Amino acid sequence: MKQTEQDPRINASSLTFSDYLKILLICNVTCALLLAVYNLMHGFLHAKFQDDHDLVVYISVGIFVVLASLIISLIVVYARRRYMNRHIQIVLDSARRVASGDYSVRIPLTHIDGKTDEFDVLYEDFNTMAENLSKKTVLGEDFLSNVSHEFKTPLSVITNYITVLDSDSLSAEDRHAYMEKIRDASLRLSDLVGNILKLNRLEQGKIDVQLKSFDLCDALAQSILNFDQPLTEKNIDLTANLDTRIMIDSDEELLSIVFNNLLSNAIKFTPENGQITISAEKADGGINNSNSKNSKTISTDLSDKIGTSDCKYAIVRISDSGCGMSEDTVNHIFDKFYQADTSHSTKGNGLGLAMVSEISRLLHFTIAVDSAPGNGSTFTLKLPLL
In terms of domains, do 223 and 294 share one?
Answer: yes
266 vs 275: CA distance, rounded Å:
9
Whether 2 is in a domain gets the answer: no
- Number of domains, the chain: 3
Q: Is residue 137 part of a domain?
A: no
* Same domain (yes/no): 122, 159: no
**Residues 148 and 126 placed together within one structural domain of the fold:** no
Query: Of the candidates 105, 130, 155, which is a domain's last residue?
Result: 130
Is residue 249 included in any domain, yes or no? Answer: yes
Q: Is residue 369 part of a domain?
A: yes
> CA 340 to CA 332: how far, in whole Å?
9
Residues 259, 217 within the same domain: yes
Whether residues 231 and 365 share a domain: the answer is yes
Q: How big, in percent rounded to 5, are the helix, strand and coil portions of the chain?
A: 55, 15, 30
Check whether residue 252 and residue 165 sit in a common domain: no
Do the domain assignments include residue 1?
Answer: no
Mean of pLDDT values over 165-191: 82
| Residue 139 falls inside a structural domain | no
Q: How far is CA 81 from CA 117, 231, 312, 384, in A?
A: 17, 73, 58, 55
Question: How confident is the model at residue 302, as a pLDDT?
Answer: 44
Q: Higher-confidence residue: 171 or 137?
A: 171
Q: Is residue 6 part of a domain?
A: no
pLDDT, one tens digit per residue, over 2-12 is: 455 666 666 55
Alpha helices in 166-251 (DSSP H): 172-203, 216-225, 228-233
Query: Confidence band (pLDDT; 50, 70, 90) for 355?
Result: confident
Length of the chain: 386
- Domain limits for position 156: 144-203
Point out the domain boundary residue: 130, 156, 190. Answer: 130
Q: Averaging pLDDT over each range in 144-158, 166-180, 248-262, 342-356, which range is the top one?
A: 248-262
**365 and 224, same structural domain?**
yes
Res 291: pLDDT: 45
The listed range with the strongest mean pLDDT (49-63, 158-172, 255-269) is 255-269
Q: How confident is the model over 182-194, as pLDDT tens digits? A: 888 888 787 777 7
What is the number of H-type helices and E-type strands within the chain?
A: 10, 8
Residues 239 and 354 in one domain: yes
Determine, yes or no, domain membership for 361.
yes
Same domain flag for 52 and 153: no
Say if strands 275-283 and 237-242 run parallel, antiparallel, or are unpaired: parallel
Share of the chain above pLDDT 90, in %: 12
- CATH of residue 166's domain is 1.10.287
The whole-angstrom separation of Cα 236 and Cα 164 is 37
Last residue of a domain, one of 161, 180, 203: 203
141 band by pLDDT with thresholds 50, 70 and 90: low
The answer to whether residues 223 and 308 belong to one domain is yes
Least confidently predicted of 48-62, 113-127, 315-329: 48-62
Q: What is the pTM of this model?
A: 0.55
Let me know whether 120 and 167 are in one domain: no
Question: In terms of domains, do 192 and 230 share one?
Answer: no
